[in-house]
């Protein structure tokens, strides 16, 4: 299903990285256009890393417009994860080279933007533009987490991308909390003595 209605430009928006204990939350906004010719768009979580990378390249080459934005660890801790996610989404829409007539967002909540906006539960599985945004957000965030891994290899961000796996929690206990960890998240806060 495509979000295009009557030839107007529709933008899909999704995020990656709400649940991890470290790193930014990343959002993407994508306007595919009716003749994008990209087959196999789906929720990024249902695709292999290799397939996501291939599709991300096609999206960046063929979409009418796309943008990726983030909210930092500091913004997540100051605002809370939901508000930081909506901020990243707003930044992504604002970063588009074309102004969409309508914005479709995966999930339950909509960012504060001037355009008409609708939240669609499981939109990443049913709306091509949101699927494309899901893929761009996930691949961009994974790339950021690989950069953080190079700076902080002891945490294993290359494997778990900051999610609270047993290995990540063990590394947090062994090495302490880094500057890229979200201090407002319960497992990190507990290690800092603020539980």
For the segment 25-56, what is each residue's pLDDT rounded down to a tens digit? 999 999 998 888 899 998 888 999 999 999 99
| CA distance linking residue 24 with residue 1, whole number of Å | 30
- pLDDT, tens digit, 9 for 90 and up, residues 120-159: 999 999 999 999 999 999 999 999 999 999 999 999 999 9
Q: What are the tokens at 24?
A: 């930014």
Q: Is the pLDDT of residue 8 over 50?
A: yes
Whole-prediction pTM? 0.94
Q: Is the pLDDT of residue 178 over 70?
A: yes
Asked if residue 131 lies in contact with residue 125, where contact means CB atoms within 8 angstroms, the answer is yes
For 88, the 3-state DSSP assignment is helix
| CA distance linking residue 195 with residue 184, whole number of Å | 10
DSSP H or E run through 33? none
Question: Which has the higher per-residue pLDDT, 37 or 63?
Answer: 63
Residue 194: which pLDDT band, with cuts at 50, 70 and 90?
Answer: low
The domains of the chain, with CATH numbers, are 10-151 (3.30.420.10)
Question: Which has the higher per-residue pLDDT, 195 or 17?
Answer: 17
Q: What is the mean pLDDT of the chain?
A: 94
| CA distance linking residue 116 with residue 159, whole number of Å | 38
- pLDDT, tens digit, 9 for 90 and up, residues 79-136: 999 999 999 999 999 999 999 999 999 999 999 999 999 999 999 999 999 999 999 9
Q: Is the pLDDT of residue 3 over 60?
A: no
Question: Which has the higher per-residue pLDDT, 64 or 7?
Answer: 64
**pLDDT at site 6:** 47
| CA distance linking residue 145 with residue 158, whole number of Å | 7
Packed helices 128-151 and 49-62: angle between N→C axes, nearest 10 degrees: 120
Supply the DSSP string of 137-178, one letter for each residue: HHHHHHHHHHHHHHH-GGG-HHHHTT---HHHHHHHHHH---
């Amino acid at each position: 299903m495509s979000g295009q209605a009557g030839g107007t430009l529709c933008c899909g928006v999704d995020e990656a990285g709400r649940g991890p204990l470290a790193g930014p939350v990343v959002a993407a906004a994508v306007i595919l256009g009716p003749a994008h010719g990209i087959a196999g768009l789906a929720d990024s979580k249902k695709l292999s890393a290799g397939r996501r990378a291939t599709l991300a390249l096609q999206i960046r080459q063929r979409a009418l417009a796309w943008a990726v934005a983030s909210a930092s660890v500091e913004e997540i801790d100051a605002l809370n994860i939901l508000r930081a996610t909506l901020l990243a989404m707003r930044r992504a829409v604002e970063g588009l080279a074309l102004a969409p007539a309508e914005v479709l967002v995966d999930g339950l909540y909509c960012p504060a933007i001037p355009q008409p906006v609708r939240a669609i539960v499981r939109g990443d599985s049913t709306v091509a533009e949101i699927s494309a945004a899901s893929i761009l957000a996930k691949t961009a965030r994974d790339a950021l987490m690989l950069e953080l891994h190079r700076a902080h290899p002891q945490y294993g961000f290359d494997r778990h991308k900051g999610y609270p796996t047993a290995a990540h929690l063990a590394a947090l206990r062994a090495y302490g909390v880094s500057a890229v960890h979200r201090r407002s998240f319960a497992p990190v806060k507990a290690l800092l003595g603020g539980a």
